[in-house]
Chain A
């Protein structure tokens, strides 16, 4: 006679039965490749008729990437110069839009539809075409650049790099805003979860809107902001506007020894991305030490 299974055993069995396809896919297509990339980054890979020939190269890929190669570090720097200000602007702007949307009555759905639209049509080639036209439009309207604006020039006299970053952000404002589609929805969702009685209590204590925003709303949406920051970093990495990405693509196309390099680049790039996310955690994560206990 078959033994009756306990509840726990049945839960385990059915749970894993349903999870199986994903777990297999994860092991084969994500976990293994991830580990393999780390390994391959220390090797030279050349593809021959008989398959791939992998030879140990030690740190030479890394040395080439950092010291000998002239394209990798600039590309990585370009990525950081793009990712850091863009992420900042996206998170701040999407919060402001979400906050404002929460405080108007009519047309909320209409505006939300507009702001979500880019999520549907955004793709590498489309973005690339848009950026290209933008550049040619700029050339057409030479003389009307943001760097001519007085405030920007004032900033430029202190620090040229900062002014460059700011003009860059303004020039690409449409492109940057296109990344806010999902963050806005997430922020609205976070804002709606705030208990209205908190606001009432604050109003009773004669707090004004500004104080409520800083003392109640912002601290409560901080976890949401963290998720959105991580999400934005992921999103920004996926498109052709990311310089590292096109570099890796070129190396992957290079069959004679390019794959090992591509793996090194991809791995270093991933470390940088994870580092950025770590910084996001530091900024938005729970700060236990700062909470005062009365």
Chain B
């Protein structure tokens, strides 16, 4: 009996070691692209084509970063990107909060139907919606004689009305959080004469400040990374970091040809540009990573 027990313990221990090994290997595969971005960022052009140099550059060079910052026009694009994503995220957060509140608090007719529609919104590929959306905005633009295409207005409208990037997930996060707040709080407030809107602000929002932050951050990050809708509606109206990155190769060539120097585009420049464009997100993640993961856990889409 005793022998059996120890045998079991040993096998459990080897199992655990195997698990850790597996996780470490997988972690490496996850992080390998990021490591590669970082290592290439600091390589000299000679190191890039040298097969003997794999990860660690022979000589650290900040030249790539400097060039990439210049080509990306970082000062403008960074501010633009932050303001743009921030504005869209605020819109999305507000709409997600009130929609989530409605789903969590009220038993209105057709609630199930709308809930399914919210889920369907996530499934339908954005590609299928973009042609009419574009035509709609162009038509309205002609009708009111006010430029819409090339400004953030169309996307702002879509965000405020709950059709932004991954709005469905944000709504679900809010709905699940509001479900945790006891309904008796609402009732108490109503007896004291608060209307539905005051209940929402003073009970719903007040108690969910962290959720508001999480949803805002998700919306921010997703809007930052979104390029399809932005490319169709905003086009080059605003210089944004990710879209600049997409155009990096051609921008680089034109910048070089205008100065007449003998620079050649190589992986190191591209990776430096990539590094710069994800750096703000990495920074954000390093501060609030727990909140992000909890946010997804709280969608509750796996339960029930």
A residues apposed to B, CB below 8 Å: 8, 11-12, 14-19, 21-26, 28-34, 36-37, 40, 45, 47, 51-52, 93, 97, 100-101, 103-104, 107, 109, 111-126, 128-130, 132-133, 136, 140-141, 173-175, 177-178, 182, 185-190, 193, 223-224, 227, 230, 234, 237-238, 240, 244-245, 248-249, 252, 259, 262-263, 266-267, 269-270, 273-274, 277
Given A11-B106, A252-B130, A51 contacting B142 (CB threshold 8 A): yes
B121 within 8 A of A: yes
28 residue pairs A–B, Cβ–Cβ below 8 Å: A14-B108, A15-B106, A18-B106, A19-B108, A22-B114, A24-B161, A25-B163, A29-B158, A29-B161, A30-B121, A31-B117, A32-B132, A33-B132, A36-B131, A104-B20, A111-B23, A114-B27, A114-B30, A126-B245, A129-B245, A185-B293, A188-B297, A190-B302, A237-B127, A249-B232, A252-B130, A259-B135, A270-B127
B263 within 8 A of A: no
B136 within 8 A of A: yes
Q: Shortest beta-carbon distance, B275 to chain A, in Å?
A: 10
Identify the 7 closest CB pairs spanning chains A and B, nearest first: A25-B161, A15-B108, A15-B106, A123-B225, A18-B102, A36-B132, A33-B132
A25 adjacent to B95 (CB under 8 Å): yes
Tell me the nearest residue of chain A to B196, going by C-beta. Answer: A14
Q: Shortest beta-carbon distance, A190 to chain B, in Å?
A: 5
A120 adjacent to B302 (CB under 8 Å): no
Q: Shortest beta-carbon distance, A177 to chain B, in Å?
A: 6
Q: Which residues of chain B are near A123, meaning CB under 8 Å?
A: 224-227, 242
Overall SS of chain B's interface: helix
Contact for A270 among B16, B98, B125, B224, CB less than 8 A: B125
Given A51-B139, A101-B23, A141-B51, A114 contacting B31 (CB threshold 8 A): yes
- The size bracket of the interface on B is 35 or more
Q: Which of B30, B34, B124, B142 has the most CB of A within 10 A?
A: B30
B281 adjacent to A140 (CB under 8 Å): no
A100 adjacent to B292 (CB under 8 Å): no
B residues apposed to A, CB below 8 Å: 16, 19-20, 22-23, 26-27, 29-34, 36-37, 40, 49, 51, 95, 98-99, 101-103, 105-109, 111, 114, 117-118, 121-136, 138-139, 142, 157-158, 160-163, 171, 196, 200, 221, 224-228, 231-232, 242-243, 245-246, 248, 267, 270-271, 273-274, 277-278, 281-282, 284-285, 289-290, 292-293, 296-297, 301-303
Q: Shortest beta-carbon distance, B153 to chain A, in Å?
A: 13
Q: Which residues of chain B are near A114, meaning CB under 8 Å?
A: 27, 30-31
A104 adjacent to B132 (CB under 8 Å): no
Given A52-B138, A100-B22, A174-B33, A22 contacting B161 (CB threshold 8 A): yes
Tell me the nearest residue of chain A to B104, going by C-beta. Answer: A18
A34 adjacent to B302 (CB under 8 Å): no
B271 adjacent to A262 (CB under 8 Å): no
A45 adjacent to B135 (CB under 8 Å): yes
